[in-house]
Structure 1
Amino acid sequence: MSYVIGVDLGTSAVKTVLVDRSGRVAYEVSEAYPLIQPKAGYSEQKPEDWVDATIVSLKKLLEISAVQPSEIEGVSFSGQMHGLVLVNQEGKVLRNAILWNDTRTTPQCRRIEETLGGQLLSIARNRALEGFTLPKILWVQEHEPELLDQASLFLLPKDYVRYRLTGDYAMDYSDAAGTLLLDVAGKTWSEDILNAFQLKSSLCPKLVESFDEVGTLLPEIADQTGLLASTKVFAGGADNACGAIGAGILSEGQTMCSIGTSGVVLSYEERKNLDFEGKVHFFNHGEKDAFYIMGVTLAAGYSLTWFKDTFAPQQSFDHLLAGVDQIPPGSGGLLFTPYIVGERTPHPDANIRGSFIGMDAGHKLPHFARAVMEGITFSLRESIDILRDAGKKVDEVISIGGGTKNETWLQMQADIFNAAIVKLESEQGPAMGAAMLAAYGCGWFASLQDCSAAFIRPAKRYEPNAEAAAAYEKLFSLYQQVYPQTSRLSEGLAEFR
């Protein structure tokens, strides 16, 4: 039997999965590591914690599976995007990694906008947001210049872990696209952006495809994990790119909706010159010479978690949602906007906050719970509409994440998106995408599409209900009026937070 391993380096833990040639996940292991928050708005981690947890996870994976090391042909990676790791000439980390959810860099974002103007969207294809890597580099440039002077390279989280396992420096295009330093269409580091901020081009690692072999395991890593030193290691990709691969989003017309802590609508794209004016993200895919368009709802599943923890802390999610299927579309005239931590798409607004509109004395807990689910889905519908407005046909959506655990929510997605929703038989998200990159890199399949056909199987399909879809069209138009009518109120309330 032959296997590959997918390593998914998340924000709270690393997950490793052992996958056989049929796409079956034979075993999986997760190892947590801490988050460091030295100040409000700061979010950091120690890169060595990632390395240690990955080594432990790989070792446990081999131990519990009892698979022979010779049966494992390759390893690849998925990783949290945007995090800044600075290393010196000896490969030593110079400071804690600054993560994707760190918000200290608002002044640097404004500096980027003022310096580059329209050049930013034409080259990097994305707006300057606090999550991206360039603002973090500029923060270090301004506040810790001596460290930037010592830096030989900047890396992203998974790329640092892979370097520690192989001794090879590289970054794939899908992750590089989230730095604001990549010419996304040209697939090269942008000298114009680097020069605008007096950054040396040598700070950027070599660029590779997600499925490229970048080395084998160092002997000491092989000893610590139990894997063979000859095990092939492939570059891997950004978590969202790997999530797309793991959901089979590998050809034109394919779209997925992922509802986790945040929510993502992601669609495959081959046209490199589309202009969305920064309304959505436009990144390189893990598939060669392809891209993906992505809209983000910052608080998707998190909105439901917040609601439960605040208003029904003693109830399980199953108990909380038990009555929502009895409430008709519109939740009895109650609307919720999921802006509880700000919003990303289509409103990149850090000050906007959520709201319930239309509360009356007849509303009970199930009305509010359903309104939260509807509000989250309306927010994701806004990203769906951006895709449709660009001429993309969205009549089928692969649904993954926490939103697939509730039948009512799956049907709600079909009705609100007015598209068929497909639930997968087995869903491993980015870890499966990483494993598929390794399987393709090892030559198991002639293409990622062939790998997808073998590994990914639909379980159930939900068609839109015509009556509910019509009701949701009216409700969605009302939902879209809430943001412009509450944005000034949220701005005024910001000083009291």
Structure 2
Amino acid sequence: MKYVIGVDLGTSAVKLLLVNQDGKVVTEVSKDLHLIQEKTGYSEQNPQNWVDQTISGLYELYNQFEGEAEDIEGISFSGQMHGLVLLDKNQEVLRNAILWNDTRTTAECQQINDTVGKERVLRITKNQALEGFTLPKLLWVKNHEPEIYRKAETFLLPKDYVRFALTGKLNMDYSDASGTLLMDVRKKAWSKKICDLLGIDIGLCPPLAESYEEVGTLSSEMADKTGLSKSTRIFAGGADNACGAIGSGILTEGKTLVSTGTSGVVLAHENRGDRNFQGKVHYFNHGAPDAYYTMGVTLAAGHSLTWFKNIVGKEETFDQFLENIDTVPPGANGLLFTPFIAGERTPYYDSSIRASFIGMDSSHEKKEFVRAVLEGVTFSLNESVRLFRDQGKRIDTIISIGGGAKNETWLQMQADIFNAKVIKLSSEQGPGMGAAMLAAYGCDWFGTIQECSNEFLQEEKSYEPIEENVAIYEELFKLYQQIYSSTASLNKKIMQYRQ
């Protein structure tokens, strides 16, 4: 039996999966990562921490493995997007990595829009200039740390630095590069126009590779440290959302992923790179061959539920907290919730909007508030589903993963609000499994990634929309959409009273 390893470099931990040729996860290891937040809005990590914990994880994984080192044929990667790692001429790290959730770059986003132009940025990169992307971070270093910027010879994204440490090879895959705001998404090439307009040497941009492309083998030093064979093949890997899509089987038109974690993601497969969503959703290159994906984001999905639980049910488990919501009818007895507790992304891109409960009266009980929170989160996700459908996309099958896939009532609610078949997978490993699948495909275990998906991923249960619930939720969704416009100006005015 042969094996591959999927390495998923997140923000809070690096997770490693050892997967066999049948798609079974044989061993799983997780290593915590340290977050550095020196100021409000700042979020950084030391890249060496990623490397050390990945090496430790690989060593632990191998020591639990009963086979020979040569039986582990390949390793591939999934990683947190957008983070900036700067290297000097000796390929040494110049400063801590600035992460995806760092928000210090508002002025740099304005600089990009003023210098390059919003329409040109959107036409080339398919995305708006937002604080989370890599280019604003690069400009921030150029503007605020010029001595460091002058020493920079190249930049990498987080998982690319880990892969470089394991192989000594510098690369970036297309799916991660498309989240930098420096790549022409359709041409799959770095944009000289954007670089020239902003005074950035295009030579800072590393060589590009396909996610399933072999980019090296494990170095002798790393083979010694991990116990693995130096003949282990290393593949480029992909952005966490691209790998999450692969690991959930989102590989054909009509299939969509809904992931409910702290934030919520609606990700739809695209065969074409020429759709125009006017920047209302993210548009990236996929990790699968000749494909793209569009993605809408709810900033506070599971975060909204956790926040409310901490207020009214702190001592309860989540199962206890969600008890009896199935006894509450759709609409939570006239109670609506907007999950804007941290602002909102799709489709509003508004950092000052805040959450609301609408329709409260003294008859409402805890279970109705809980149901309203779940419905509000799902309505927010439905904003992205609706945007996709308005552009002519077919969305008839949705794979639900994360917290939203752990409760049957919530799964049925998703089917009713999205008006689509919702599927729960029997084994949900998300981005780590996607990375392992890229390695399996790269090792020629399968002719296509779709064949790999068919073998590795199994459906546990599906939920069909209930017609009468669909009709109710359609009317409630219209009311939900009115809340933003009705409360946006009020929230801006009340911000001065927040401490």
Q: Structure 1 length normalisation: TM-score?
A: 0.99
SS of structure 1 residue aligned to 2:64 = helix
Question: Deviation string for 1:72-115 (max 9, x for gaps)?
Answer: 00000000000000000111100000000001111111111112
Question: Deviation string for 1:18-43 (max 9, x for gaps)?
Answer: 00001011110000011000001100
- Does residue 1:463 correspond to 2:471, yes or no? no
Q: Which moved more, 1:6-15 or 1:393-402?
A: 393-402
Question: Deviation string for 1:215-243 (max 9, x for gaps)?
Answer: 00111111111100110000000000000
Aligned to 1:381: 382
Q: Aligned letter for 1:97?
A: A
Q: Distance in 2 between matches of 1:496 and 1:216?
A: 56
Aligned to 1:299: 300
Q: Distance in 2 between matches of 1:314 and 1:272?
A: 48
Q: Which moved more, 1:112-121 or 1:169-178?
A: 112-121
Aligned to 2:239: 238
Q: Aligned letter for 1:315?
A: E
- Does residue 1:252 correspond to 2:271, yes or no? no
Instruction: Kindly report which structure 2 residues correspond to 1:300-315, keeping only aligned pairs within 5 A, or say none.
Output: 300-315=301-316
Q: Distance in 2 between matches of 1:379 and 1:487?
A: 16
Aligned to 2:25: 25
Aligned to 2:417: 416
Instruction: Kindly report which structure 2 residues correspond to 1:256-405, keeping only aligned pairs within 5 A, or say none.
Output: 256-405=257-406
Q: Distance in 2 between matches of 1:148 and 1:323?
A: 56
Aligned to 1:57: 57
Aligned to 1:87: 87
Q: Distance in 2 between matches of 1:459 and 1:310?
A: 33
Aligned to 1:448: 449
TM superposition shift of 1:316: 1.1
Contact 2:70 2:231 in 1 (8 A): no
Aligned to 1:162: 163
SS of structure 1 residue aligned to 2:490 = helix
Aligned to 1:476: 477
SS of structure 2 residue aligned to 1:179 = coil
Q: Distance in 2 between matches of 1:441 and 1:122?
A: 32
Q: Distance in 1 between matches of 2:462 and 2:317?
A: 26
Q: Distance in 2 between matches of 1:80 and 1:184?
A: 19
SS of structure 2 residue aligned to 1:11 = coil
Aligned to 2:103: 103
SS of structure 1 residue aligned to 2:481 = helix
TM superposition shift of 1:66: 2.6
TM superposition shift of 1:176: 0.3
Q: Aligned letter for 1:448?
A: I
Q: Distance in 1 between matches of 2:420 and 2:61?
A: 39
Contact 2:399 2:425 in 1 (8 A): yes
Percent of aligned pairs sharing the same letter: 61
TM superposition shift of 1:402: 1.1
Q: Distance in 2 between matches of 1:103 and 1:450?
A: 40
Q: Aligned letter for 1:94?
A: L
TM superposition shift of 1:311: 2.1
Q: Aligned letter for 1:17?
A: L
SS of structure 2 residue aligned to 1:178 = coil
Q: Aligned letter for 1:394?
A: I
Q: Aligned letter for 1:255?
A: T
Q: Aligned letter for 2:373?
A: V
Q: Aligned letter for 2:209?
A: V
Q: Distance in 2 between matches of 1:313 and 1:262?
A: 20
Aligned to 2:212: 211
Q: Aligned letter for 1:406?
A: N
Aligned to 2:427: 426
Q: Which moved more, 1:388-397 or 1:175-184?
A: 388-397
Aligned to 1:129: 130
TM superposition shift of 1:67: 2.9
Q: Which moved more, 1:107-116 or 1:235-244?
A: 107-116
Q: Distance in 1 between matches of 2:398 and 2:462?
A: 10
Q: Which moved more, 1:31-40 or 1:63-72?
A: 63-72
TM superposition shift of 1:312: 1.5
Aligned to 1:16: 16
Contact 2:102 2:131 in 1 (8 A): yes
Q: Aligned letter for 2:263?
A: S
Contact 2:37 2:43 in 1 (8 A): yes
Aligned length: 497
SS of structure 1 residue aligned to 2:143 = helix
Q: Distance in 2 between matches of 1:68 and 1:367?
A: 55
TM superposition shift of 1:65: 2.6
Q: Which moved more, 1:279-288 or 1:108-117?
A: 108-117
Q: Distance in 1 between matches of 2:280 and 2:273?
A: 16
SS of structure 2 residue aligned to 1:70 = helix
Structure 1 segments of 4+ aligned residues over 3 angstroms from their partners: none
SS of structure 2 residue aligned to 1:350 = coil
Q: Distance in 2 between matches of 1:36 and 1:312?
A: 30
- Does residue 1:6 correspond to 2:19, yes or no? no
SS of structure 2 residue aligned to 1:283 = strand
Q: Distance in 2 between matches of 1:88 and 1:204?
A: 13
SS of structure 2 residue aligned to 1:439 = helix
Instruction: Kindly report which structure 2 residues correspond to 1:485-496, keeping only aligned pairs within 5 A, or say none.
Output: 485-496=486-497
Q: Which moved more, 1:483-492 or 1:239-248?
A: 483-492
- Does residue 1:175 correspond to 2:190, yes or no? no
TM superposition shift of 1:359: 0.7
TM superposition shift of 1:253: 1.7
TM superposition shift of 1:469: 1.0
TM superposition shift of 1:495: 2.1
SS of structure 1 residue aligned to 2:257 = strand
Aligned to 1:149: 150
Q: What RMSD in Å do the two structures reach over aligned CA positions?
A: 0.7
Q: Aligned letter for 2:37?
A: Q
Q: Structure 2 length normalisation: TM-score?
A: 0.99
Unaligned residue ranges in structure 1 (runs of 5+): none
Contact 2:255 2:396 in 1 (8 A): no
Q: Aligned letter for 2:294?
A: I
Q: Distance in 2 between matches of 1:42 and 1:320?
A: 33
Q: Distance in 2 between matches of 1:396 and 1:164?
A: 39
